[in-house]
Amino acid sequence: MTVDRLRTAQAGTLDASTLRRVFENLSVESCPHTYNFHMHTVCSDGKLQPAELMTQAIAIGLKGMAITDHHTIEGYRAAQRWLEDWQWNHPGQPVPHLWTGTEINASLLNTEVHILAYAFDPHHGAIQRYLGRRTLSGNDYQADRVIAAIHQAGGLAVLAHPARYRKSHHDLIPAAAKAGIDGVEAFYAYSNPTPWKPSPQQTHEVRSLSANYHLLNTCGTDTHGRSLLQRL
């Protein structure tokens, strides 16, 4: 491993530890004005350019965030470059911590689910095969294989919007926990209300299940439109 790769891997390990502590302290009030860990850009199926997304993130005052484009980190890379330039031109100004992120399709209990990957080393071979802008097949499509790859790359794996699938979250969350998932997206707005707020019933049920299986709780708007404060 080269020195640069070693530094990246070490930084990723620290990043994952820091993110785990953030997840441990999230509440229903955390999103969308303090933290947001589920957002999309034009690099997958969103409408915001990475620069537009980062401009909004700074205006909102986010402390931490992740861009989770489907099967790619191109949006993250562009946003990271933009953020570095912005910091250079605005020394001393607060900026959000931007973690690596992506959203990966996988099969769990014969149901297609989405697994959010965070704080991973994007250079690691285990995760790179999931960053090719497409859903994989065979064993690589199975949730336990996806979760293992995220862990091998030093990251955290989270089941996205657990109450949105064909199969009940009462079945999926225990299965995801058995497969090694680290957390669930507990704070999520299933009916896309304005203003954005987590759905009370689903939040209660998902948090109860996550507590039973000792999982982390995360939050995100799942933005696909023009505003980070809404899903669509």
121-126 long-range contacts, CB within 8 A, separation 24+: 121/8, 121/9, 121/12, 121/153, 121/154, 121/155, 122/73, 122/76, 122/153, 123/5, 123/8, 123/9, 124/9, 124/152, 124/153, 124/154, 126/150, 126/152, 126/153
pLDDT tops 50 at residue 7: no
Q: Please state the length of the chain.
A: 232
Whole-number pLDDT of residue 77: 96
Are 120 and 59 contacting, i.e. CB atoms less than 8 angstroms apart?
no
What is the pLDDT averaged over residues 113-125?
97
Please give the single-letter amino acid code of residue 62: L
Report whether pLDDT(9) > 70: no
Domain boundaries, given as residue ranges, for the chain: 3-219
Per-residue pLDDT tens for 131-149? 999 999 999 999 999 999 9
- The pLDDT of residue 44 is 98
Sheet holding 111-118, edge to edge: 101-108, 111-118, 156-159, 183-187, 216-219
Mean of the pLDDT values across residues 78-91? 95
70 falls in which pLDDT band (50, 70, 90)? very high
CATH class name, domain 3-219: alpha beta
User: Which pLDDT value is given to residue 14?
Assistant: 57
pLDDT of residue 4 exceeding 70: no
Angle CA 120–123–80, to nearest 5 = 70
Residue 153 has pLDDT above 60, yes or no: yes
Beta carbons within 10 angstroms of residue 93's beta carbon: 9
Q: What is the pLDDT of residues 173-193, one digit of tens each?
A: 999 999 999 999 999 999 999
